[in-house]
Structure formats: C-alpha cells, structure tokens
Structure 1
Amino acid sequence: MSLAMPPVPHKDDLDSTWSFLEAGIESVMLNLDSGIDMKTYMGLYTAVHNFCTSQKAVTSGQGLQGQRGGWFPSLHAAPSASRFELTWNQAHLLGEELYKLLGEYLSCHLSKVFKQSQSHTEEGLLGFYIREWYRYTTAAKYVNHLFRYLNRHWVKREIDEGKKNVYDVYTLHLVKWKGDFFEKVHEKVMDAVLNLIEKQRNGETIEQSQIKSIVDSFVSLGLDENDSSKSTLDVYRQYFQLPFIRATKTYYENESRQFVAENSVVEYMKKAEARLEEEKLRVGLYLHPDVTKTLTDTCLSVLVTAHSTLLRDEFQVLLDNERQEDLARMYRLLSRIKDGLDPLRTTFENHVRRAGLAAVEKVASEGETLEPKLYVDALLQVHTRYQSLVDEAFNGEAEFVRSLDNACREFVNRNRICKTSSSKSPELLAKYTDSLLKKGSKSAEESELEEMLVQIMTVFKYIEDKDVFQKFYSKNLAKRLVHVSSVSDDAETSMISKLKEACGFEYTNKLQRMFQDMQISKDLNNNYKVWQDKVLDDDDRKRMTDAHFQILGTGFWPLNAPTTPFLAPPEIVRTAELFQKFYFDKHNGRKLTWLWQLCKGEIKANYVKNTKVPYTFQVSTYQMGILLLFNEADTLTYGEIEKATTLATEILDPNLSILLKAKVLIASPEGAKPEPSTSFTLNYNFKSKKVKVNLNIQIKSEQKVEADDTHKTIEEDRKLLLQSAIVRIMKSRKKMKHVQLVQEVIQQVKSRFPPKIPDIKKNIEALMEKDYIERMDGDEISYIA
C-alpha cells in the first residue's frame, strides 16, 4: 500500500513543500517493502532541489546576489570582442527549515516506535528492536538519497563552517534513533541479550543471530562528534561491552566458586579451559572483535587468577603421579596470567633434582664398583623423562628448559658418587664413551651409536669439570688409536665434532692432531716396507718380526714413558733397531722413546698338544717377553724371569698372574702366587674354546695408577690455566682491584671448570713471587711489563 501524494508544491512555499515531502518520507518509512515508484521518487528529489534553490531575497545591482549559498548565472553587456560574458553571483540557499522539519518528523516517528516497544519483553523485545532497526536504517538510506542535494550543499557548508549538531541526512536518522529511542530502551534490550547469553552458557540453544544484530546496531550508533563521517565504538563499549563484561564476571565468579567446592582441581581445570574456549568462540559467533582482550582478561582473572593458589598446590601431586596431560592443562591455564608459572618452575626444578639424586643413589647402592654405563644411563633416564615432560606438557618453554638444566646440572655434579671426588661424573662419562667407541662383542649399529653419542653430549652439557672429561677422553682415545680398537673412524670423528661444537677448537685441537699422526704413521709404514724390500735379503726377512709402527708427537698425545725398565726379547730388538735406522735416515736429530706398555702382538703356541690349528695368544709386549723365555726352557723360576725381563715387581707380578689364571703357565707349588719362591712351567695341555686367546687384559692396579696420574695432570693443567688467565687479564688491564681480578678469572675459565677462589688467590700469589704482577696500595694489583 502507498500513501496518496499531495500535489507538487511551489518551490517558494515551505508548508506545501514539506507536506509533499512528509507524505513521501512516510511512504518510505511505513511501506518499505513496496517502496515508491520512480516518478514519485524524482518528484520528491526535485521538490528538495527546488526549495533549496528558491530565491527569496534579491539585492539591487548587477546580477542576482543573495546573502549566501549556491550559484546562479547572470548576463552582462560586454564591450569586448565577445558579445556576452558569464559571471557567477551567490544566491540564498535554503535548507535549514527542511532539515529541522525532517528532524522533528523522525522524533515523532520514533516516539510511536517506542510506544509500540513497550508491549514487548525479553526475546520479543529483541525481535521488535531488530525489525524496527532494519526498517528504519533501510528507509534512512532512501531518504538520504532524496535529500542528496541538501547534503551536498547546505549540510556540507554548515559542517565546513563548524556548526555543531548538523549531520548528513543518514547520520541524522542515527542520531535521532539514539536520542529518541535507543536511550529509552537500551537497558531492557541489554537485559534480554544478557539473559540469552546466560542461557547459552547454561547449555541451552539460542537464536545467536539476534545478538549479532543487536551488536551491529550498537556499533553503528557510534558517531564521532567532531567528524560525522567517522564512526567510533563508544556507544558499543558503553552500552553493550560494559554490561556484558560485568555479567560475565558475575556469572563465572558464582560458577567457579561452586564448581571448586564440589569437584577436584583437575576437573576444575578442564571446566575452566572449556569455558575459556567457549568465550573465544563466542566472539567469532556474534560479538565484536573489540571485546576480545577485555573478555579474555576478565575470564582469566575470574577462572584462573582467583584460583591460582589452588592450582599451584596441585602441581606437585601431578608431578609425582606423572599426569602429563593434566600438567599440560595447568601450564596452559597459568601461562596466560602474569607470573602464573614462576612458582611452578621452582617446584619443577626441585622435583627433577630430587629425582636425579634418587636415581644415582639407587645405582650407587647396587654394588661396590659402579659401572660407567649404569651411572650414565641413570642420569640420562631422568633427563629424558623430564625433557619429554617439558616438551610435551610445557610446550618447550624456555624458562622450564632453564629449570630442567639447573636441576640436571645439580644432580650430575653434586650427587652421592661425586662426594668422594667432584670430578667423578666426567671421569665415568669418559669411560662410558670409551666403551661405546671401542670394538667389542656388543658394538652398536652405526645409527644407534650416533644416537648414543648425542646422549653422551646431553650429559656432557651439564658437566662442570669439562677439563676432566677432556683428559680421560684423550687418554682413552689415544689407546683406541694405538691399539686400532676404534669401532669406526666415522664415529670417532663425529664425537670430536660434537665436542668441538660444544667447547671450541682449542678443546679438540690435540685430539685432531692425534688423528693426523695416525695418518702420518700409516704413510710412514708404507715407506718402511718399500725401504725393507731394498735393503733386506731373504735371510734378514726371515729373522724379522712382522711389525707396525706408530710415531706419536710428544706434545699432542697424553702418554708417558714406561714406568719400568724392560729388556725386550731379541726378536723385538732386531725389528726395532732396523726401524730406527730407517727413521733416523729420514729425520735426523729426532729422538724415539719406545712405549713398551702400549705395544702388543700375537704369538703362536706351537707347543700345545692335541690341536689341529695352533692357538694364537694376543699379548702385551711384557707378556710376550715373558712367554718367549719358555722357548729355551719348560720351567723358569720367578728370579730368572725377573732377571731376563728386568721388569719391576709391580708390573711383572700382575702379568704372571694373568698367565697363571689363563692356565698358560702352571705355578709350583700348586696354587702359589707370583713371588720369589715360585716356579713357572709351560702348560702343554692348555685348552681354550677359542683359537685366538686374548691375554692382554688391563690390570686393575694399572687402571688406578693411570687414573691417579690423570688427576695429577689435571691439577697441574688447572694451575697453568689459572695463571695464564691472570696474566692475560692483567696484561690488557694493567691495574685492577683484587676482587675484580678474581671475578674476571672465574668468567674466563668457568667454561672448562668451576675455579675455587682460594686456588685463584694462591696462583695470584705465585705470579707475584715470579714478578709477573705486584700488589699496590688500596688492594690494587698492577701488571709488571
């Protein structure tokens, strides 16, 4: 249905013009669905244009000049070449009267809408509000088009001149809606909205689109008072967001208080996490994104911060029971509030440290001799378990990683095993590494070995006495290289690369030089064989022992000269002398020191009866020297062996014991130990399941002496390292306070070992005695150039 339109008005007649326009606007407002025809639309648009451009006040003079407003043409006689000249003069532009009448109409219309709204409540009110809002704003767009001329001229000029409370026609509609309708109903509308949201929080299904439409309308009412072309979120924030946040806070305070009283902490965390996710989704469903931060902060404050003490008290229980999923949930919740995780990190660090100490305590109490593998495995099991927890439950967060590192550093360096010696961890780790890299019956596959080496480096990272590991590792590496017992060159190279990456070039420099010496020795042996072919005849070759020589640089190999005299058998002496001749011809002026304690070889037991294939004994050079004596006699006394080999008692006795235990020799009297009264007879009835019999077994007493010597070397090296650091610092600084010097020395050497302050002071005094530095007044130390 459309209203009957009055006749087209005269352009100068305000009353008839407005009557015509009002009928058209009413038709738009009330009959939006059917609309108005194009002829009527053009008539309304023309009526606005004609009235705004009508002339009411004309002044004398050339042309037509009004007080202010638009432009009209005026013709003048032109004495110039052109017959006519076009000029422009201002004419009075009307518009204020229409603008005021339109505003009054909108207020009247909205008054009727308000009266109709009073018969609606709750969801009915929301439906009414949304329908009227849609009808009103859609009509406003049509009316705005009708008044475009007014917008472009009168409204624009008024705004440009700074006049307040003047807007384009569409914005005027919004201003009127806000002042004449919205201000009266917003509280009831919001109550209905909040009731709907509460129903949804309680699990009921609601019409979400209603809330979305309400939110959009609140946002659209935000106008910038200084610039009507801009919009703000002020109305939305004041009338929607504030009451919504207050209602949310109240709802969750009541719910969480009751839920905690009736359920476990774990169940509460599940509930809180679910609620937080619901509110996040709610923003995407029908709220404005602007509310996101405020809503999240409010929910976190009520659901997490208010109950954070309760959650933290449960953390130790979850750790003890390894409830990884629940720990992850607690981490996710507490990580979202300020300082929420700090107490947890401290608790976690203490828990891991206790677990590590308990693991070491368990393996230490299982027997007198602690196997390096058992010890390292115990450390790794604790680290692996809690590293997994940090990665999975705590998302690999840097601060939890730091707590794990602090705890591991503690139980690796200060446990029951380390009470006897602070350097026990690196020593055992080096021995375990040696067992992995040395050939054996249970050698790991290449991929498995690489993984084990990575785990070795995990423990190595936490070791404070890295210089101790270096010493033991280099000694073991030297033996593996000398005895050609490395499981593979690739594995050795991989380990050295890992150490270099962790500690730098200087840490592994000597290790790499040892490998270079092995290659040089390989080339040297090839040249030696070529030389032998040239200088030896067939008889000489028969008398020579097939030997392989290794030339080891004194400065790079952690090896010492033999601790006992040794008279080598003639077979070995002939071979050694021939090699020396070859070597000195190539390198004049060098000195060779034979490391008999590291030499080894094989001898065939041709004397044993009842064997199809002779046994081969794998022996040390000392054992070879003892056994070759029995080529001349079946029985020898202790004294005869001692005199023939010149071996010291502490070396001779353990080697004879090994031969007796293997039943290669038989003692007389039976069961006697190696001592001056004992005789030794070759066992012609020797039997073994293996054709190759390894007799070259390291003696425990030798192992202990070697370990003690290594520790002495470490102490000497530390003293030199401290003194070189002191001199280096003083040389660059010239003068320093004593306390500052001590602190700088600690910083420089802590990557190798944790220095003790008394040791630093002792070395400062030692350098003063050597006149490298001197003490000045005021506890100041000066460098002596």
Structure 2
Amino acid sequence: MPLDEANKTIEILTSAIDEIYEERAAVMDYQKLFDLAYKLVTKKYGEKLYDKVRQTISKHTKGVCNDINQQKEITFLPHLLTVWKKYRKAACTIRDLLLFLDEQWVERQSTHDNKIKTVFELGIFIFREEVLIKLTDRVQSIMLSIIRKERDNIEPADKFLLRSLTQMMVEIDKEKVYIPVFESKFLSESHIYYKIEAEKIFDSCTAVDYLKKIQQRLKEETDRADRCLDPETRNKIENVVKEEFITRYKDSVVNKEGSGVLVMLKDKKETELRLVYDVLGLVEGALEPTINIYREYVTEQGLAIVTSEEKNNDYITLVTEIIQLRVYYDELLLRISKTRKTNTFIRDKDFSKATKDAFDRVVNQNEKFSEYLSLLLDKKLKKGKQQIEEEQLDTFFDQVIMIFRHVKDKDIFEKYYKEHLAVRLLEERCASDDAEKLFLSKLKTEFGVQFTTRLENMFKDIKLSKDLMGQWNEYRTRPPIDMNIQVLTQGSWPGTTSYKIEFSEQDINKSMNVFNDFYQGQHNGRKLTWQYQLGNASIIMNGFTQKFEITASTFQMAVLLLFNDNEKLTYKEIETSTKIPAAELKKNLIQLTKPLDDGEQYKKVAKVLTVKASEDQQQSTAEGDKKKFTISATTIFATNNLFKSRKLKMNAMPPMTKQTEEGASKINQQVEEERKMVVDAVIVRIMKSRKVMTHRDLVLEATSQLQQRFMPAPNLIKKRIENLIEREYLERDENDRQTYKYLA
C-alpha cells in the first residue's frame, strides 16, 4: 500500500474516532472500518496508525478537565462520572474497532521491559493523566466531606455515587489512582477523626457504652466499605477503628472506675462481659488486661474460701463452695467466651488457662484440700442423710474430677481416698457399688489405669471375701461366735499398724483360731494378720428393760466385754486389760459416753457408759481449776444402769473425722516414702529404654512422667539418682559426670 493511500485510510479511521467521541457512531459501517484497520496493520502501517489514534484521543480530552472543574460542589462528582462513562464507552468502541491493531501490532511490539498499552488502556491512561489526576484534590476533598457528614449524622452518604467513583478509580488504576487519590487520605483522616472521637467518648461514658460505640462504628464503616469502596479497603478501615478505639484503650476501658471488668465480674453482668470479649477480642492481645483481671478476681474469691478459718472447720462447706465456684466459672466462660468449632462450642483457650491458673493456686493453697475432697466424697458415697441422689451422681463426679485436676499432689488424695474407701467397704457402708465403680471409672479415664489399680483391687478383695464366706458358712467346725471376715491383700489396702489387743471373752479368741485353721486349709503358706481397728461388731446389751443392739468398733467391743464382770473400771484398768493404744482407746471410750439417741428426752440416759472424775480431779476442780476435763489414768467408767433409748438398734462407732496433726504427719511420711519408690521406678524405666542420658534430660523426662501423680522437686529426683547409683542401677560417665549410664 502506498504511503498516500495509507494516510488517507488513517484519516478515515481517525474521523470515525471523532464521530465516536461526538456520540454519532451509530451510523458508521464498522465492518468497513475494521477491514481498513486490518489492511493498515498487514501493510506495516501499525505504528503510524497507533500514533495517530493516540493523538486523536488526546485531542478529545483537552479542555475536559476545565469543563468539569467549573461545576458547582453539588454537581461536580456526578458530572465527572458522566464524563467518565462517556469516555469509557468511547474507549470500548475504539478497542472493538481496532481489535486487529491490538492483536497483531501491540502484542508483537510489547516486551517485558517495554509494554505497549492496548488501545483501550491508552484511552483510559490519557483520561487519567489529562482529567482525573488534575482534579485529584477536589475529588478527594468532596468524597471525604460526604463520608464525614455521614459519620457526624449530618447527611446520609450517596452510596451509589461513592461506589461509582471508587469503581472508576480502581478501573483506571488502583495502585496509582484509587490508593493515592482516595484510600490513603481516607484512612489518614479516619485516624484523626476516630482518635478525637475516642478521647471524647471515653471520658464521658461508661465502659459498656464505650464498647457499644465501637461496635456501632465498626458496623458503619464495614457497611460503607462493602457498599462503596474496594473490598481490600474494608480490613484497612476496620484496623483504623480498632487501633484508635481498642488498642489505645485496652487497659483503660477494662479498668474504668465504676464500670470496668471488675465491676462486671462482681455484679455477674454476663451480657456486658460477653460484650467485652466480642469487642476487645477483635484485636490480638487486647483481651490480655481483661484476662489478668479475671484471673486475679477468681483467685481472690477462691483464696477467701480456702483460707477461711471458719470454713476450715467445716470441710464440706469449704470443698462444696470451691466446686460450685469452679462450676460457675466453667459455665460462665461458655456463656461469655464461647466460639463455634465444627458443630460444638468451645471456651476461649486464654480464659480457660486463666481459670486453670487461678484454681491451681487456690486448690493447692490449702494443704488439707486433698483430705477434705476425699472426706466430701466419703459423705456423699456412704449410707446416710448426706449421700447424693443417683440421678445426680454423674454430674457430681464430673464436678469433683474438674476440681481434682487442679490438685498438684494427686497421690496424697489417693492415700486419703483409699483409707475412706476401705472403711466404707469393710463396714459395708457404701450406698451404692455402682456409684463407687462409676467414680473409679471416671478417675481411670482422666488419670490412667495406674492411678486406680490398687483401688480396683480393693473391690476384688471384697468380692473374693464374699466367695470365701460362702465356703466358711459350710465349714464343718463352727465357731462359738458368728463372724463375717474379709481377707485383704497387703499392698492394695491402706498401710495400717496391726495392734495386738486382748479380749476378755475367750469365745472370740476361739472363733479367730477356727477361722485361721479354715483359711490355712484353703491357702497353705499364707499368714493372716488381724486388723482389729478396721472391724466392727453387733453387741446385744442385756440387763435393761429391753434388749438393745449397738454396732460398735472392735476396740469398743473389747472394752464393753470387760463390763460383763465389772460395774466400773478406771481408764488404766481398761488400758491394761485390752492393750488398746491410748489414742484409739480414748477416741472409742469418748464415743461410748455420748448419747446414742438424738431424741431430746434421751439425751442424758442414752449413754452406754458413764464417766466421772477421780477424787484428785474433783478436788482440782473444787479449788478453781477451770481446765477442761480430760481422761486420766484414774478416770472412772461405769455402765449406765439407767440406759434408755427410743431406738432398739444404735451405732456407737466413732465418726470419720479430719486427720489430727499427728495422723496427717504420718500420712505425709507414708506418701514421701511411696514417692521415693515411684521416682526410683520411673528413673530406672527411663534409663532402661534410653541407656545414656544427661542429668538435665533425665530430670525433665522424669518430671514429665511423674507430674500426673505429683509434682516432684528437682532435689528429690537428684537424691534418688544418687541412691540408684549407690545401689548400682546407674553409673556416671567417666568423661562427663553429668551423664548417666544404665547398668543392666
């Protein structure tokens, strides 16, 4: 194609572009124009055509900026959009007309380092440079003014207008137009606006109102962003509101006097606490001050219970209140901090950890808590008025397990629980075997089979004893006294001291010998050791207007049998005759001198034995000694010949009480000894599998395995390692004394 012909063809095409901008394109022959562009490109005139198209587009954008800028404030943005729509439509039409120019010339001439704009991009670029960039300040100012008026409730924003403007900017160039022209200034001004508003609101309202205002502002901004702005702007404006309202005030709002988190906790305002969680939880770390207040408050409440002198004298109230407190905060967290995970709701992990930390401290603050917890279980599981209803068992046990998780030295609880369980089993005072086994199954699930093995063995012994009693009842040699005997496996039951006591009634001794012969015939080579302190007896009391039957301990039985031949005896005479240890004897004697009937009219006469002071004690009292009466060697005990009771069957056995200082010390000693053996076993097991370990690694591994039962002191582990070295289970490495080797 000659150059003249090419120039004429280009003129035809540029004239068509003029028609497009003048909005007279409907009468054009597009197929003819498309063919002309095709010929120009194929005849190597693509570059000349492209340059002429750029000049033509630039010609039509000159003066447009001034025309738009002459508009009044109210019509400025709508007119800008009208012009944009016209120029965008023209750019699309020109693109369709010169499609072959884009595909064959622009695409081939573009390189990675020098990308040539398509015809459409060229039109948009020229509009950006010649029109929009020059109007930046005014566009920015008016758009921000619209948003500011809506924030101040002066005038609602034209959402369609804002949306169209932001779409225009994003389409023209998001990075070079939308962000610098609008978004950056929008976010910057929002920071200033909300900083001022936050200061003003915080000083003039309660913590709850402040949090509600945050929710309101976040909703307004996210709604506006969703409807009017680029999707990526939503997170950015959210962060502005969060930074100015939450991050800057996360400490101040929760500590606000008269309405902060502490007030909410004290007044149990769960809705407001949920509001705190929902709002402050939007910013990472903003809940930390709230969690600290929560932890300290829960700890303070718990410590007030476990350190109360009054409640320490009433262990049931103490443990029950701690359990109730733990359950309350467990349920509270589910209401104020729950989040959905799959199909279930879970508590916030940080609040849950704060609750755990608080109750770890509370429960272990009172060194007798393990004993008290076991005593509460004993009250609920044995026959009596305070036993728990069957339908409440599962919930009660779950609550006990929940609080038991916080007990640091679980082996101490096991020690007490085993003693109390032993009494319930041996005295047949379990309200329900199913309940006992249900609690054991929960312990096993929570803490493993090793924790419950010995407890389960106790139940096995009881079952085997029942089977043994079936054979005993068929034994050909019958004892003088009816006996129900339980044979216990040493090691599974609480370690008790066997007392050698004496009975004045020879039939008892004969009966014991008969059973011993029977048992040795069944199990050759086994030795029976009688545990008198664990037994009880049913005694018929004759000599009164009626026959009364009392359930007494074995020690009480030995004492009462003496009064078959004696009307009165001194304490010393009773002690000498029975050989019962002093502590046990006094405890059982005192119970026999108390009324066995709770009827008001029987308070004085329902005593099996009467007690009176010796002449020395009477003289001391007469001389003004106000000391409390105590049992001495010369204290006289006598049968109560006036005994009366509305009940024919009564219980005289000493009740289960808290351990004395001496008893608790003894249990602690037993626990310490058992711990040594457990630590030894764990260390040997670890070293047997590892063969060689450093001191540090061995201590860490042993601690990890032991903390399920108790938290061992590093010094204890160190001493046990030394002991195992002496006993040649381990040896030190010759080149490194901090490394141990296992000796097979």
User: Shared fold (TM-score greater than 0.5)?
Assistant: yes
Q: Which residue is 2:621 aligned to?
A: none
Q: CA deviation at 1:49?
A: 0.6
1:357 aligns with 2:314: no
**Structure 1 pair 701–353 and aligned structure 2 pair: CA distance change class (3 A):** closer
CA distance in 2, matches of 1:278, 1:527: 85
1:488 to 418, 421, 432: 432
Q: CA deviation at 1:492?
A: 1.9
Which region of structure 1 is more displaced relative to structure 2, 108-117 or 574-583? 574-583
| Secondary structure, counterpart of 2:420 in structure 1 | helix
1:118 aligns with 2:69: yes
2:652 to 692, 695, 717: 695
Alpha-carbon contact 1:607-1:684 (below 8 Å) kept: no
Q: CA deviation at 1:383?
A: 3.5
Alpha-carbon contact 1:11-1:47 (below 8 Å) kept: no
CA distance in 2, matches of 1:250, 1:216: 26
**Structure 1 pair 44–392 and aligned structure 2 pair: CA distance change class (3 A):** same
Letter in 2 for 1:660: T
Q: Map of 1:190-339 to 2, 5 A cutoff?
A: 190-203=140-153, 204-222=155-173, 233-311=175-253, 313-314=255-256, 318-321=260-263, 322=265, 324-337=270-283, 339=285
**Structure 1 pair 581–121 and aligned structure 2 pair: CA distance change class (3 A):** farther
1:655 aligns with 2:599: no
1:138 aligns with 2:89: yes
Cα offsets for 1:681-705 (capped at 9, x unmatched): 35365222x3431112248698666
1:681 to 613, 621, 639: 639
Q: Which residue is 2:710 aligned to?
A: 753
Q: CA deviation at 1:30?
A: 4.5
CA distance in 2, matches of 1:745, 1:159: 70
| Secondary structure, counterpart of 1:590 in structure 2 | coil
CA distance in 2, matches of 1:44, 1:16: 17
1:598 aligns with 2:534: yes
**Structure 1 pair 666–126 and aligned structure 2 pair: CA distance change class (3 A):** same
| Secondary structure, counterpart of 2:494 in structure 1 | coil
Letter in 1 for 2:493: W
CA distance in 1, matches of 2:611, 2:361: 55
1:44 aligns with 2:30: yes
CA distance in 2, matches of 1:294, 1:206: 20
1:710 aligns with 2:675: no
| Secondary structure, counterpart of 1:53 in structure 2 | helix
| Secondary structure, counterpart of 2:549 in structure 1 | strand
2:554 to 599, 607, 621: 621
| Secondary structure, counterpart of 1:271 in structure 2 | helix
Q: CA deviation at 1:120?
A: 1.6
CA distance in 2, matches of 1:771, 1:287: 77
Cα offsets for 1:215-247 (capped at 9, x unmatched): 11111113xxxxxxxxx6443223222222122
**Structure 1 pair 758–48 and aligned structure 2 pair: CA distance change class (3 A):** closer
Q: CA deviation at 1:208?
A: 0.2
Alpha-carbon contact 1:734-1:783 (below 8 Å) kept: yes
CA distance in 1, matches of 2:592, 2:112: 117
| Secondary structure, counterpart of 2:260 in structure 1 | helix
CA distance in 2, matches of 1:205, 1:258: 23
Q: Which residue is 1:503 aligned to?
A: 447
**Structure 1 pair 649–466 and aligned structure 2 pair: CA distance change class (3 A):** closer
Alpha-carbon contact 1:466-1:753 (below 8 Å) kept: yes
Q: Which residue is 1:665 aligned to?
A: 608
CA distance in 2, matches of 1:761, 1:233: 65
Alpha-carbon contact 1:600-1:618 (below 8 Å) kept: yes
Q: Map of 1:498-647 to 2, 5 A cutoff?
A: 498-529=442-473, 531-532=474-475, 535=476, 545-567=481-503, 569-570=505-506, 572-573=508-509, 575-605=511-541, 607-609=543-545, 615-627=548-560, 635=567, 637=569, 645=578, 647=580
Give the gaps of 5 or more residues in structure 2.
339-346, 596-605, 619-630
Q: Map of 1:165-184 to 2, 5 A cutoff?
A: 165-167=116-118, 169-184=119-134
Q: CA deviation at 1:97?
A: 4.2
Cα offsets for 1:654-684 (capped at 9, x unmatched): 4344333233535376999796673633536
Alpha-carbon contact 1:737-1:780 (below 8 Å) kept: yes
Cα offsets for 1:161-181 (capped at 9, x unmatched): 9875441x3333222222222
Give the gaps of 5 or more residues in structure 1.
1-9, 55-68, 71-91, 223-231
Alpha-carbon contact 2:552-2:652 (below 8 Å) kept: yes
Cα offsets for 1:339-390 (capped at 9, x unmatched): 43445544443443333322333x32x27x6222222134334444544555
Highest RCO, 1 vs 2 (Cα 8 Å, sep ≥ 6): 2
Alpha-carbon contact 1:20-1:44 (below 8 Å) kept: no
Alpha-carbon contact 1:742-1:760 (below 8 Å) kept: yes
| Secondary structure, counterpart of 1:588 in structure 2 | coil
Q: CA deviation at 1:643?
A: 7.1
Q: How many residues align?
A: 702
Q: CA deviation at 1:209?
A: 0.7
Q: CA deviation at 1:715?
A: 2.4
Letter in 2 for 1:50: L
Cα offsets for 1:479-516 (capped at 9, x unmatched): 11212222322322232233333433222221121122
Identity %, equivalent residues: 27
Q: CA deviation at 1:257?
A: 3.2
1:370 aligns with 2:313: yes
CA distance in 2, matches of 1:563, 1:483: 19
CA distance in 1, matches of 2:514, 2:331: 61
- TM-score normalised over the length of structure 2: 0.82
Q: CA deviation at 1:462?
A: 1.8
**Structure 1 pair 247–695 and aligned structure 2 pair: CA distance change class (3 A):** same
Q: Which residue is 1:148 aligned to?
A: 99
**Structure 1 pair 324–607 and aligned structure 2 pair: CA distance change class (3 A):** same
- TM-score normalised over the length of structure 1: 0.78
Letter in 1 for 2:142: A
Q: Which residue is 1:109 aligned to?
A: 60
What is the aligned-residue RMSD (CA, Å)?
3.9
Letter in 1 for 2:400: I
| Secondary structure, counterpart of 1:667 in structure 2 | strand
CA distance in 1, matches of 2:126, 2:353: 61
Alpha-carbon contact 1:436-1:449 (below 8 Å) kept: no
CA distance in 1, matches of 2:607, 2:199: 84
Cα offsets for 1:266-290 (capped at 9, x unmatched): 4333323322232222221111112
| Secondary structure, counterpart of 1:304 in structure 2 | helix
Letter in 1 for 2:469: N
CA distance in 2, matches of 1:565, 1:760: 41
CA distance in 2, matches of 1:554, 1:648: 22
Alpha-carbon contact 1:596-1:621 (below 8 Å) kept: yes
